[in-house]
Amino acid sequence: MRSLFLYAVVFVLVASCVWSPSGHAESPPNIVWIWCDNLAYRDLSCYGSPTIRTPVIDQLARDGARFTQYYIGHVVCSPSRAALLTGRQPFRSGIIDVLRPDSPIGIPDDEITLGEAMRDAGYATMAIGKWHLGDRPQYLPTRHGFDGYLGLPYSMDMSPTILIRDDRIVAELAGSKVENITERYTDEAIRFITVSVDQPFFLYFSHTLPHPPINLSPQHRTDGRPIYEDAIEHVDQQTGKLLAAIDRLGLRDNTLVFFSSDNGPMSNGGDTGGLRGGIRSSYEGGVRVPLIARWPGKIPAGREVNTPAIAYDIFPTLVRLTGGQLASDRAYDGQDIWPLLSGDGDFQRQHPFYWIYTDKVTAVRDGNWKLHVGDGEKPLDKPELYDVSRDPRESRPLNDQHPDVVQRLLNQIDEYQKQVPPTWRLIYNVRDRAKQNGGIRRE
């Protein structure tokens, strides 16, 4: 009897340290979120690129789940990042367009970011790379849940190109310093996970590539080849360095790794695979991007997820996995997609997806139907209805065949529009004379 009792005690102790489907765990997973800046839907070979080789990311997909209908929460970078980090529509945090250098606004103090949620769950947290949610001290990552930060506060085409550590400018980048920024980011990521092995960690790794201007050192260039393609392969190689470090530290089996993009491509080389539109457009090419997730033993290898998901689903999913609870004092727009990742349990989408440009709804997806009423700031002359499951290129409007669906979705848009506050245009002076008007570098 004594032996049986001791066995039972040991079993309970061991079981208590193992992650359970309820999402509560004594040993929750490390979380690594990696995404690129303006990576298009078909820019990875595992998504069909005929010219770009990404063997590391392809293997990540073979070892885990690859989503075929994953969407970002907004059509440009600052709001898209706000949607991911808060689990909420960007208009709720007031981040509705690209933030410029010296913007007087940024992510509000009362928003709860993934960094804050993970830190509250006992995680070490680190943000690396592009931030783009405000460049003044009160808006930087270290004021919003991250223990440390190394990166650029805005896009690579905004001037001056400053590198910030925590809340201080440590360098103004030019020449080879810009060319080697991806390697520097990766080295910092490896340093962070190395010193964090004794506690769970959350690494938010936001590449500046392949957003223009693309800067690569000569050893990473291929004669006669578009620099855009070399840039994505360089990201793949650096991802390999980071994943190798995770393996070397014995962290592979308890680390959930994501790879994705913040929005569709600009006109500098991104391949949407024939999907219509790009950045600033709520057509599929602007909002449908890659999403890959690997967690050995928890996410089945080689899983293909064809069910639609959206960026603001990530917040509630990770909060659940780490044993937390969503705040009850605010609206969350996403839902837990762990059943899609793991293949365990049923998943039913509770609400349609809406895309908003400034203060106007431009599109809604509900089931297989997607209705467009605007393209960027321009209202469409008439709505356009598509069955995106059969016509992902959105080339055959079905308004005439399904007027009832058009009217239903228009009613949904009208109802949702009521909660979107009007936008006031803000014009402000740029304090730093090294910056051009609007903060954009002019070559």
DSSP assignment of 343-391: --S-----S-EEEEETTEEEEEEETTEEEEEEETTEEEEEEEEEETTT-
The 10 Å Cβ neighbour count of residue 266 is: 18
Q: Are 163 and 170 in contact (CB under 8 A)?
A: yes
207 part of the active site: no
Phi, psi of 180 (to 5 degrees): -100, 15
Angle formed by the axes of helices 77-86 and 314-321, to 10°? 30
> Rounded distance, CA 51 to CA 44, Å?
9
Q: Are 130 and 206 in contact (CB under 8 A)?
A: yes
> Rounded distance, CA 395 to CA 374, Å?
16
132 part of the active site: yes
DSSP assignment of 238-305: HHHHHHHHHHHTT-GGGEEEEEEESS---TTT---TT-S--TT--SHHHHEEEEEEE-TTTS-TTEEE
Distances (CA, A) of 242 to 60, 206, 290: 12, 13, 19
Q: Are 416 and 425 in contact (CB under 8 A)?
A: no
Residue of 132, 207, 220, 372 marked catalytic: 132
Q: Are 185 and 151 in contact (CB under 8 A)?
A: yes
Catalytic center residues: 77, 132
